[in-house]
Structure 1
Amino acid sequence: MKNKILFVFSLLFGLLFINSGLNKIFQYMPMPKDMPEDMMKVVEAFGAIVWLMPLIAVVEIIGGILVIIPKYRALGALMILPIMVGILLTHIYNAPSGLPIALILAAVLAWIMIENRHKYAALFR
């Protein structure tokens, strides 16, 4: 039962990151009009670094796909971890209204990583 629940959470988590990555490339979801000024500065700064958003998009897409596939879930979680840290820090400092969702996503990622901790053991030897 636990494996089925983990799969459902991993599927939703992976699809969310795939969607986020695809949106960074194709920009099919409009930016919110009521975005805080601090967030607008962050978005403009990221946009000034031409290669940054495509790189993040590709990592989100590949990481999202890997998180869905049980055999590669640990690798996908490692790929998404630095992006998740950035999401958390952005919502802590610039857009606190999105912090509850960011914390839920961080908890799902932590659960995925804890369930796959045996695969990470070799990294710490």
Structure 2
Amino acid sequence: MSVSLGLLIIRLAVGLTLAGHGTQKLFGWFGGYGLKATGGWMESIGIRPGLIAALLTGTFELAGGLLFALGIGMPVAAALIVLPMLGAIAAVHFRFGYWVRQNGMEYNVILIAVAIGLALAGAGDYAVKAP
């Protein structure tokens, strides 16, 4: 029970945070810039087409985060989290080193580790069971 409760807490914290990041990109919620502005920023750093990249990134984060929080399809949920995090590391954060204070990849690496770890460990007993 305590392991499953711990997994639930991790899934909810990480999954809902990622889902929130996705809604920032897609809809401008929670202080985000929305799809057009996010796409424009992506274009400004050399990611083209920026609008498509913003749409895919936001969708992956939103869908992956919700699936992760619910504990549904953990390998797929983890992949939907890991892929945009790897993209963020490659496009933005790697050149700044590890620590997030210097705009590094610390946050992305932690999310990747948690996503892969829970995909391997399983969602626990407090997860939505797919039919």
Alignment check: 8 A CA contact 1:21 1:61 kept: yes
Q: Find the aligned partners of 1:30 and 1:71 in 2 and give their Cα distance.
A: 26
Residues 67-102 of structure 1: per-residue CA shift (max 9 Å, x gap): 112232232112222112223333222575242222
Structure 1 gap segments, 5+ residues each: 32-40, 117-125
* Residue in 2 that maps onto 1:104: 110
Q: Residue 51 of structure 1: SS of its match in structure 2?
A: helix
Cα distance, 1:7 vs. partner?
1.4
* Residue in 1 that maps onto 2:26: 25
Cα distance, 1:30 vs. partner?
5.8
* Residue in 1 that maps onto 2:93: 91
- Superposed CA RMSD in Å reads 2.7
Distance change in 2, residues 1:94/1:53 (3 Å): farther
Alignment: residue pair count:
108
Instruction: Report runs of 4+ in structure 1 exceeding 4 Å deviation.
Output: none
Q: TM-score, normalised by structure 1?
A: 0.69
Identity percentage of aligned residues: 21
Trace 1:1-125 onto structure 2 (pairs within 5 A).
1-28=2-29, 29=31, 44=44, 45-46=46-47, 48-89=49-90, 90-94=92-96, 96=98, 97=102, 98-116=104-122
Q: TM-score, normalised by structure 2?
A: 0.66
Cα distance, 1:108 vs. partner?
1.0
Residues 8-27 of structure 1: per-residue CA shift (max 9 Å, x gap): 11111111111111000223
Name whichever structure is richer in helix by fraction. 1
Q: Which residue identity is paired with 2:7?
A: L
